[in-house]
Amino acid sequence: MMLQVKDVTKRFGGLQALTEVSFVLSEGEILGLIGPNGAGKTTLFNVINGVYTPERGQVIFRGENVTGLPPYELARRGLARAHQVVRPLHELTVRENVMVGACFGREGLSLAAAAQQADDALGTVGLAQRAEQPASSLNVAQKKRLELARALAAHPYLLLLDEVLAGLTPTEISSMMETIRAIRQEGYTILMIEHVMQAVMNVSDRILVLDYGMLIAEGSPEEVANNPQVIEAYLGDPEMTARLLAE
């Protein structure tokens, strides 16, 4: 088992952001996390990778209780995250940005080894020819790929993807989904938050649905898309099911 989240509860003052959320993620699986805005998805990611410490519950990563460990410790243990809001180091080249992930990942590589690992990651995401360009020169879609490459260069056991499709065109979304499938073929385990429903439904093995900080459904994409509680809470229209599963 790659990840186990057990009864995680998180509050911000009087706001209950997460309530006893529990699930497991197996090695090699792609698990999609969906829900309305404000459902607690990013809060859950922040608990998993150590940004927040929960009031209750545990995060078990590769058999170790890592609840409350800071993000840099979790990075050393093999957990990497690609953020929704991409903030590359603009004064550095594309390769140097990705080297940061390799240097501070689970292997703690030297600069020379990090450069090689960065080039491998850039090849995987399709940015190899832009390695020497300044990061500031990339467009939105390329910066999303840069963020993904930086996470991959850490050689994680588990990759958290936080809305990597946000802001992309339909063509760019399709291309990015092929990249995510290729990453999975390399043996990575993926947990992804996504609002592009057709994409997440078609790439994930299983789907989790959060609503008001509670896990309201879990299952295959077909099961979740046809769940009456999910339709009421999130999808809003039973006819959307057919569109989500069209591909």
Taking the C-alpha atoms of residue 118 and residue 186, their distance in angstroms, rounded to an integer, is 16
Q: Is 128 domain-assigned? A: yes
pLDDT computed for residue 71 by the predictor: 95
Q: Is 194 domain-assigned? A: yes
51 and 88, same domain (yes or no): no
Which residue, chain included where needed, has tokens 């170790």?
A: 64
First to last CA, the chain: 30
Q: Would you say residue 193 has pLDDT above 80? A: yes
Q: Is 174 domain-assigned? A: no
Order of strands across the sheet with 56-61? 15-25, 3-12, 56-61, 64-65
Taking the C-alpha atoms of residue 154 and residue 198, their distance in angstroms, rounded to an integer, is 29
Query: Among 111, 136, 156, where does a domain finish?
Result: 156
38 and 84, same domain (yes or no): no
Taking the C-alpha atoms of residue 78 and residue 106, their distance in angstroms, rounded to an integer, is 5
One DSSP character per residue, 76-127 reads: HHTEEEE-SS----TTSBHHHHHHHHHHTSTT---HHHHHHHHHHHHHHHT-
- Residues 6 or more apart from 120 whose CB is under 8 A from it? 153
What confidence tens digit (pLDDT) does each residue in 141-156 have? 999 999 999 999 999 9
Backbone φ/ψ region at 60: left (φ over 0), alpha (ψ -120 to 50), beta? beta
* Among the listed residues 1, 25, 2, 21, the one whose alpha carbon sits nearest the alpha carbon of residue 10: 21
68 and 130, same domain (yes or no): no
As a whole number, mean pLDDT of residues 164-181 equals 92
Query: Which residues is 27 bridged to in the sheet?
Result: none
Number of domains comprising the chain: 2
151 and 214, same domain (yes or no): no
What confidence tens digit (pLDDT) does each residue in 13-29 have? 999 999 999 999 999 99
Does residue 8 sit in helix, strand or coil? strand
Query: Which residues is 24 bridged to in the sheet?
Result: 4
229 and 240, same domain (yes or no): yes
Q: Is 179 domain-assigned? A: no
pLDDT computed for residue 236 by the predictor: 59
As a whole number, mean pLDDT of residues 53-76 equals 96
As a whole number, mean pLDDT of residues 92-117 equals 91
Taking the C-alpha atoms of residue 160 and residue 7, their distance in angstroms, rounded to an integer, is 20
Taking the C-alpha atoms of residue 154 and residue 102, their distance in angstroms, rounded to an integer, is 4
As a whole number, mean pLDDT of residues 60-81 equals 96
Mean pLDDT (the chain) is 91
Q: Is 162 domain-assigned? A: no
pTM: 0.91
As a whole number, mean pLDDT of residues 34-41 equals 90
As a whole number, mean pLDDT of residues 29-39 equals 92
Q: Would you say residue 241 has pLDDT above 60? A: no
Q: Is 169 domain-assigned? A: no
Helix (H) or strand (E) run with residue 59 in it: strand 56-61
Number of H helices, E strands in the chain: 10, 10
Q: What range does the domain containing 97 cover?
A: 79-156
